[in-house]
Amino acid sequence: MHRRHQAMSLKLDIFEYRDYLQKSYGEILYRVPIDAGLGCPHRRSDNKGGCTFCPEDGARAVQLGDAEQIEEQIEKGVRFAQRRYGATAFMAYLQAFTNTFSSVEQLEELVKKICSKHNFRAIAFGTRPDCLPDEVVDFLRTLNNRLDVWIELGVQSCHDKTLKRINRGHGWKESCEAIIKLHRADISVAAHLIIGLPGEGLEEYLQTVKKVAALPIDAIKLHNLHILEGTKLADEYRTSRFEVLSEHEYAEILLQLLPQIPEQIPIIRLTTDSPPSGLLAPQWSMSKGQFRKYLATQMRARTVAQGCALRDNSAASVRPPSTVQDRAVVTEDSSVTFYNKRVKEHYHTLAGARSEAENKFCTPSGLEEKLKRDQTVRILDICFGLGYNSLVSCELAIENSAALEITALELDRQVVERAAREIRMKNNLFDWNNCLDILCRDGRWQHRGCSIELLWGDARYTATRAGANFDYIWLDGFSTQKNSELWSVDFFRTLYPLLKSDGLLLTYCAAIPVRSGLMQAGFHVGETEPFGRERSGTIASPNQSLITRELPERDLHLINSVKGIPYRDPSGTRTNKEILRAREYEILRAKGAGAGKQ
């Protein structure tokens, strides 16, 4: 019936490097990593020193194993790509250490050896901005006449303070000069940037991306910072425990950075791969594929695409709406709801969208009485959707000349945009369409003592950024079988400390696993009057005295059976299917063990 994190295509709305290769060569060139053992000019003769994030092996590819000879490395790399990806065309990638740290004669011999082993279509050299002398660039220019040459340049950041802190050994000036020098030599440049370096935040990341994108680069590679065992950065992290990015935090940053990257610049990658055994932090729960799917979902729902902030039109920061439109439905009280075609559920009961906000949330919570009594009332509205719960609450506040502060959480920008166009509810209190328009554009609306702040994103993450001391939480996701991410005991544990001690959580949902999960999270749980269906709603509070209508005996019995096993999402990153499947397995185990919940 309500809002959820919609399952969407895995395809990211970015210009991926593999698409560039397909367009340029008629097929994808798969990289064959090579460790030529050229070392690094920024390390001492004993291999110590260098960048604080760099491991002793200079970021040697895992699939090379213990292969030392270049011929063996190439054979292993080609075989790996053929077996895993069905690859038929290849690019040699000199990845580990600094691969222009050599004489021209040595580089010529190295390239000759590489090309004699396999018919590569292109070759990429990973290197540093301060290791590109004129004679090496001249060699690369000549080589580029017979074999496509790429330079993968470790820029990392545009901030000299950061570069000094990580002992990079060069500054931003050297990166700019190297990129321009290579461009003039007609050599393709891919800039590498690390997101999450200590001392930096969103403002610094944006500055770096904008400055790098303004230079004549041909591709960009973004790395989320990995702290590897055995590095100086690992020592620093153990001492100071600076913040590292979770998958949710990194996704939020990418949603800000990608719109600033011109859409014609290919993106080689967005995440880092490191052997789990050597990774100190961060420890993600999502796999690389799961993160891509999560990011794609966020981008689609929030109308974000690569380069969208740079488009020359009035909606520069917004991509075109999805071709899959929700269907508008007029409910019995004449208010409009939508039918979500992906989820196959309505956002509200057909008995009335507006009436549901009144009868499931505002009335049973005693909101009007509290507005008359308290100086300011605060609401956390989870799954803002079409806005009824928040906007009806604002009407009550204005009618009673009361102050109301609402923090609303929503993933799907498109549903709010469409609600702003199609819900016509103008009265002498305020214009709903104008309110929704402003929220879509600015994320914040204020009028006659009321305010709404709209936070876009996965509620499991944005709830942790919403503040605390709420009088009410409205929880209005889609059904448990379609949106279990927001019905887990772990999410309820996130919500519990956000409420005041006399606060109330209300939801339309009466599912046994939900009521059980609320109880396990520390809430006292009761029910509210039914509306639009036979089942009652649910009310929960840290304060037992506020629960005036207890749960029926039948529900209490079921809560103490296997049916009361809650939905679980301990990492806050599981998909709907993963949560449902895990609960099914837990029920089977409980039944098999005769675990007393019979």
Q: Tokens 């959480």: give the residue.
A: 409
Go through the domains of the chain in sequence order and give each one's CATH number.
Answer: 17-271 (3.20.20.70), 327-585 (3.40.50.150)
Q: Which two tokens stand for residue 577?
A: 């299917």
> Length of the chain in residues, anyone?
598
So what's the pLDDT on residue 592?
A: 84
**How far, in whole angstroms, is CA 141 from its chain's centroid?**
40
Angstrom distances, CA of residue 417 to CA of 4, 248, 252? 16, 24, 20
| Helix-strand-coil split of the chain, %, nearest 5 | 40, 20, 40
Q: What is the 3-state secondary structure (H, E, C) of 512-532?
A: HHHHHHHHHCCCEEEEECCCC
Rounded to an integer, what distance in angstroms lies between the CA atom of residue 262 and that of residue 254? Answer: 14
The contacts found for 39-47 with CB under 8 angstroms, 24 or more apart, are 39/97, 39/98, 39/101, 40/97, 40/98, 40/101, 40/128, 41/98, 41/101, 41/128, 41/130, 41/131, 41/169, 42/98, 42/128, 42/167, 42/168, 42/169
SS3 state at 54: coil
So what's the pLDDT on residue 192?
A: 97
So what's the pLDDT on residue 278?
A: 92
Rounded to an integer, what distance in angstroms lies between the CA atom of residue 395 and that of residue 430? Answer: 8
Please give the single-letter amino acid code of residue 28. Answer: I
Rounded to an integer, what distance in angstroms lies between the CA atom of residue 297 and that of residue 483? Answer: 14
Rounded to an integer, what distance in angstroms lies between the CA atom of residue 106 and that of residue 417? Answer: 60
Report the candidate in 546, 496, 515, 536 with the shortest Cα–Cα distance to residue 365: 546
- Residues 23-79 have pLDDT tens digits of 999 999 999 999 988 888 887 666 567 899 998 765 656 666 666 789 999 999 999
The list of the chain residues with pLDDT below 70 reads 1-10, 44-48, 57-67, 312-325, 426, 594-598
Q: Tokens 């096993």: give the residue.
A: 565
* Residue 262, CB-side half-sphere exposure with 13 Å CA sphere: 12
Rounded to an integer, what distance in angstroms lies between the CA atom of residue 66 and that of residue 55? Answer: 16
So what's the pLDDT on residue 40?
A: 86
Rounded to an integer, what distance in angstroms lies between the CA atom of residue 1 and that of residue 357? Answer: 13
Q: Tokens 């939801």: give the residue.
A: 507
**How far, in whole angstroms, is CA 247 from its chain's centroid?**
6
Report the candidate in 378, 400, 388, 379 with the shortest Cα–Cα distance to residue 448: 400
Angstrom distances, CA of residue 562 to CA of 126, 493, 595? 56, 21, 9
Rounded to an integer, what distance in angstroms lies between the CA atom of residue 418 and that of residue 436? Answer: 9
So what's the pLDDT on residue 315?
A: 42
So what's the pLDDT on residue 461?
A: 96
Helix (H) or strand (E) holding 409: strand 403-410
